[in-house]
Amino acid sequence: MRRVNARGRFALWLLGACALVLLLAIWSFSVGRFPVSAAEVWRALWAALTGSESGLAANAQAVVTNVRAPRVAAALSVGAALAAAGASYQNLFKNPLVSPDILGVAAGCALGAGLAILLSLPIGAIHAFAFVGGLAAVGLVIAIGTWVGGRDPLLTLILTGVVVGSLFGAGIALVKFVADPYNQLPAIVFWLLGSFTGALPRDLAIALPLMALGVATLWLLRWRIDVLALSEDEARSLGVDVKRLRVAVIVAATLVTASAVSLAGTIGWVGLVIPHAARLVAGASFPRVLSLSIVLGAGFMLAVDTLCRVAFATEIPPGVATAFVGTPVFLALLALTFRRSA
Amino acid sequence: MSLEARDLSFGFRGRVVGSGIDLALAPGRVLCLLGPNGSGKTTLMRTLLGLLPRLGGEIRLDGRDLESWSPRERASRLGYVPQSAETFFDFSLIEMVEMGRTAHRGIFARPSRRDGEAARQALETLGISTLAERPIHGVSGGERQLALIARALATEASLLVLDEPTANLDFGNQMRVLAEIERLRESGIAILLCSHDPGHALEVADEVLLIRDGRTFARGTPSEVLSDANLSRLYGIEVHYHGPHARPVRQAPSQP
């Protein structure tokens, strides 16, 4: 395929994707049990930002700023964060089938959250436990992987991740088994399914900066991460400090994923599918893949969550919906990628 | 850029692969490293590139201890051309070559206009600038190899280390790559060539280092070193030459 003036065309795609996400956000703000028009959404948000009077009915203002705004912000940021982490991990591991929880971060978060629910801790503590659990799982994987070493440290890391993930999975099973089946067990199960309903402004205030910090780190390092797609010898001979860069990427991606999972539960597929979709347009260049993944991930997550909210009589968990949407999309992308390259 | 090794031991932590290696490479010269599989060629090459710590002896790049160069300094002087581009991601040739500029910019910096020009220039030098936007998996093996050489040139390295650059290439592409090596040498670049093919050494090398079991088996000009007797002993098969530029052929086993 020829890429005539590839740079300009990509900029257009990125701009288009941003515009699409903006439209999605307006749509998401306005639909639901209590419909609000786009103009009213705009006025309500403007009023909330500037502290002025919107002139709207108090309940409309409350729906926009107190109910929907945190949820929209959570969906956008979690989608962007997971997609950014997924794209980075795929480059780091030189493997397009890698997702953000390859090193066991999701299992760690789940075990942390499960324990907190088992101990009947308040919601804030559940998020904190989940976050710490995720970091602990990845920390354990890195410690074991470094200790084992071996010829192919990345392979060692992935295998260790699988094993530690399973170990934490067994921990979750045990927590479920001993949990009170009437209150705690359903709470754990619902948490594992993922949800944006629990995204309180207070938790957002903690999770958002952490996600922003991680994504900003990845974005700043994007030209170096690009080179990680080559073999280790090549990357090192080009002057990249591969070991330190790997640690930086893993720490940033773990921070991002652990924050996202502790905010919204385990939401799969976004981190795997979105970078693939981005590559269809962006090619292999990581800086482009990352920028587009962030935008597409945010839009995808928001679209799925909004559909979950309005399409059915009862809300379905977005973690389930992303799998239902993500799997056919992923298969389509696979077919598209491989048929094109054939 | 000149490279010199004296009494070099190399290998991995706790496992010596080879020792007692002496070599010297000056600008505008081609040194060919020849040896059978498992002779330690690749390990020696990685050690000379600074990718593996040496176990003993010394390596000097422009008279300075190789380990005293920072990785980024080294990257803009020593260019490495791997055997093949093994990446799943389908970079365009220009993107691939632009990665050669990594050491020239800060860790957070995007490629500058100068980086782009250097990459284009490198493609131009190798005669593949028309393929700049083509995906690396969509060009021929020879063109891919030329792109990897272009990437090493884009680093502004004046010493290139090529790891079996003609492996997996058909005859025409092998000749094309060898012709480029010849031209690079004429432009004053020093080239260390790891090869499996004594014919290539004859074709382009000024000096040949034969390695067996991690030790120097023979060292000298191609015509001195690449004798029937040496090659037969090195590879453990009977080798017979026809004329100065002909390729070594394997003789039929002699009758008992």
| SS3 of chain A: helix, strand, coil, percent, to 5 | 80, 0, 20
Contacts of A225 in chain B (CB under 8 A): none
Contacts of B7 (CB under 8 A, 6+ apart): B19, B20, B21, B22, B56, B57, B58
Whether the Cβ atoms of residue A307 and residue A242 lie closer than 8 Å to each other? no
Task: Give pLDDT tens digits for A105-164.
Answer: 999 999 999 999 999 998 888 889 999 999 999 999 999 998 988 888 899 999 999 999
Decide: B226 and B202 in contact? Cβ < 8 Å. Answer: yes
Confidence of residue B256 (pLDDT cuts 50, 70, 90): very low
- B76 — pLDDT class (breaks 50, 70, 90): very high
pLDDT exceeds 80 at position B253: no
Contacts of A323 (CB under 8 A, 6+ apart): A268, A269
In this complex, which of B72, B92, B102 lies closest to A283 when CB atoms are compared? B92
pLDDT at A48: 87
State how far Cα B14 lies from the chain centre: 26
The sign one gets for the Cα dihedral A193, A83, A212, A10 is negative
Tens digit of each residue's pLDDT (9 = 90 or more) over A63-108: 898 889 999 999 999 999 999 999 999 999 998 888 998 999 999 9
Per-residue pLDDT at B255: 44
Task: Name the residue facing B75 among A2, A237, A341 (closest C-beta).
Answer: A237
pTM recorded for the entire structure: 0.91
Q: Under an 8 A CB cutoff, do B79 and A94 touch?
A: no
Segment A260-274 shows an average pLDDT of: 91
Average pLDDT over residues A44-63: 86
Residue range A287-298: mean pLDDT, rounded = 97
Residues of B in contact with A89 (CB under 8 A): none
Mean pLDDT of all residues in A221-238: 95
> What domains does chain A contain, in order, with CATH numbers?
19-341 (1.10.3470.10)
**Cross-strand bridge partners of residue B25:** B3
In the prediction, which pLDDT does B242 show?
A: 53
Q: What is the pLDDT of residues B90-108, one digit of tens each?
A: 899 999 999 999 999 999 9
Lookup result for tokens 């030459």 = B241
Question: Chain A residues contacting B, CB < 8 Å?
Answer: 1-4, 6, 91, 94-96, 220-221, 223-224, 226-227, 229-231, 233-234, 236-241, 279, 283-285, 287, 341
How far is the CA of A75 from the CAs of A113, A118, A176, in angstroms?
A: 19, 27, 27
Partners of A95 on chain B (C-beta within 8 Å) are 88
Q: How far apart are CA A29 and CA A41, in angstroms?
A: 7
Give the pLDDT band of residue A275 (cuts 50, 70, 90): very high
Q: What is the pLDDT, as a whole number, of residue B227?
A: 85
In chain B, what residues touch A220 (CB-CB under 8 Å)? Answer: 108
- For A282, name the nearest residue in chain B, comparing CA atoms only: B91
Written as six digits, the tokens of A84 are 């950014």
The mean predicted confidence, pLDDT, of chain A is 90
